[in-house]
Structure 1
């Protein structure tokens, strides 16, 4: 059937609503268990950097030693998602572990290199490191590396960090993306007095 000379009114087209899924967040206690699960300093360092800097897996693996500014306690993230460079703070405790890591591994091209020197670490191997950490800690949630990033953002929000600041740290171009963390932060929820208390 051919429809001729028919104007389509874009405003009247019914769009299906995208499911609003909340990000998965771990407690600080669970994060601590995961980060301390590995005795291997490289494995511990990779997971710790993802959480402490709110990094995506790809950003972590693309890091080079020159991107770590130990004098200013910052990490430079080159060409983020929106093609802009950005910086994130480097926790002094993380810097200590990083110095120990340097002494052992002496990275050349990438901060985290695989079996072959000069080539970056494999993303699947990194996921396996997380899986092993979960097995060691007994955490049965289907945790992914991205959960560490979500947890970082939520924990920042719960400790009183401004939403605009979190947006900058995560490299979100829209504040709408960052606002989703307000729905998983338990800070305001925990302050609500339950009517059950009055029974």
Structure 2
């Protein structure tokens, strides 16, 4: 079963992150369910603020997909874009080079440490948490499959084992 953090922990990581670029990175990893490489390959034009979607191109398996963009993330992205003025990629390192995989890992590590999350949190943990929280909120597994870019529903079904929290919402038969 995949490791997940709570919604509150994910939000706390975002709030605790002061660097605007880093805040946007954590926000998109979590609220869009992106893989680290999908995030690093995002171009400015991949943010569709009219439709409130993120267009992920050439993700795992060379597939394109769309995922969610929420208002809070868009607001921070606009501030970030205005301040940093990236040229091609949404998240660029110094001199316009792509941001590194290790930098993203360090950003996530630092945010998890700031809010004292005891378990290991990786960029992929944020993706697993996104899927699990959607499932717990009642989102259909097929929608989650599309958002994650899974070819098969079998791949997405690992999340059905995780949401023990959702058991609270099921009426016990003998009560």
Q: Considering the TM-score relative to the shorter chain, is it more than 0.5?
A: yes
Structure 1 unmatched runs, 5+: 1-21
**How many pairs are equivalent?**
175
CA apart distance, 1:137 = 1.1
CA distance in 1, matches of 2:60, 2:116: 34
Summarize the alignment of residues 17-56 of structure 1 with structure 2, pairs less than 5 Å apart: 22-56=1-35
CA distance in 2, matches of 1:139, 1:47: 15
Summarize the alignment of residues 23-172 of structure 1 with structure 2, pairs less than 5 Å apart: 23-117=2-96, 119-172=97-150
CA distance in 1, matches of 2:8, 2:28: 17
- 1:163-199 CA-to-partner distances (Å, cap 9, x unmatched) read 00100000001101101101001244224678xxx9x
| TM-score normalised according to structure 2 size | 0.93
Quick one: structure 1 residues 179 and 39, their matched pair in 2 at CA, closer, same or farther if it must change by over 3 Å? same
CA RMSD of aligned residues (A): 1.9
CA apart distance, 1:115 = 1.4
Quick one: structure 1 residues 192 and 126, their matched pair in 2 at CA, closer, same or farther if it must change by over 3 Å? same
Q: 1:82, 1:173 within 8 Å by CA — same for their partners in 2?
A: no
**Which residue pairs with 2:155 in the alignment?**
177
Instruction: Classify the secondary structure of the residue corresponding to 1:44.
Output: helix
Q: 1:74, 1:88 within 8 Å by CA — same for their partners in 2?
A: yes
| TM-score normalised according to structure 1 size | 0.83
CA apart distance, 1:122 = 0.8
The structure in which a higher percent of residues are helix is 2
Larger radius of gyration: 1
Instruction: Classify the secondary structure of the residue corresponding to 2:55.
Output: strand
Structure 2 unmatched runs, 5+: none
Question: Which has the larger displacement, 133-142 or 184-193?
Answer: 184-193
